[in-house]
Amino acid sequence: MNDIKNLKIVVDDARRFLIKNSNRHDLIEIDLFLSGEIPFHLATQEFFQLVRDHLTDQGIAVMNIYDPSPDGKIVKPLLNTIASVFPNTYEVDATLGSYLAMGSKFPLEEAALNLKPDLNKGFGDVIRHFKNNFERIDFNPKLLVFTDDKSAIERLSYESIFRNL
């Protein structure tokens, strides 16, 4: 990662960092787990609006989601929450209960077709997997959306992760 120009890794509460920072970014990667759970305030509509507001017009938000439940107790409402904010939301099954969620202001279908796997050998497999496996997620107003004042992420995490141990 030392070879990547303009890469800045921030270790901070993501929401607090976005609130106090006005910079816009091409990529915001969200990989936030605390004892196997996503902190509730980092899985809400309001949080994803902050993320969207801090992206450039061609920026992409990427979130790693772990959900080992067979019925998608965590990933389905979390993807719906993301889709309530981002007009273009996608999901890629990363296997073994891991999912990659992506949100952008522009359609990633076109961008995915233009990615060149040979640019970076280590990244080529990831690009091919994305191209072959991504699924568009459309917002469904009938499904659960996590908000600051109504979120079941902690309960769903417990039911999904800790009951299966």
In this predicted model, what pLDDT tens digit does every residue of 12-70 receive, in sequence order? 888 899 999 999 988 888 887 655 577 878 889 999 999 999 999 988 999 988 888 88
Q: Which residues contact 60 (CB under 8 A, 6 or more apart)?
A: 26, 27, 28, 102, 103, 104, 108
**Between 75-83 and 45-53, two packed helices, what is the crossing angle to 10 degrees?**
50
Is pTM beyond 0.95? Reply is no
Please tell me the distance from the alpha carbon of residue 56 to that of residue 22, in angstroms, as a whole number: 12
What is residue 155's predicted lDDT score, i.e. its pLDDT? 62
Please tell me the distance from the alpha carbon of residue 132 to that of residue 115, in angstroms, as a whole number: 12
Whether residue 118 has pLDDT greater than 70: no
Rounded to 5 degrees, φ, ψ at 114 are -95, -5
Whether residue 160 has pLDDT greater than 90: no
What is residue 81's predicted lDDT score, i.e. its pLDDT? 96
Provide the CATH topology of domain 23-144.
Answer: Rossmann fold (3.40.50)
SS percent in the chain: helix, strand, coil, step 5: 40, 25, 40
Q: Which residue has the higher pLDDT, 163 or 80?
A: 80
Domain residue limits, the chain? 23-144
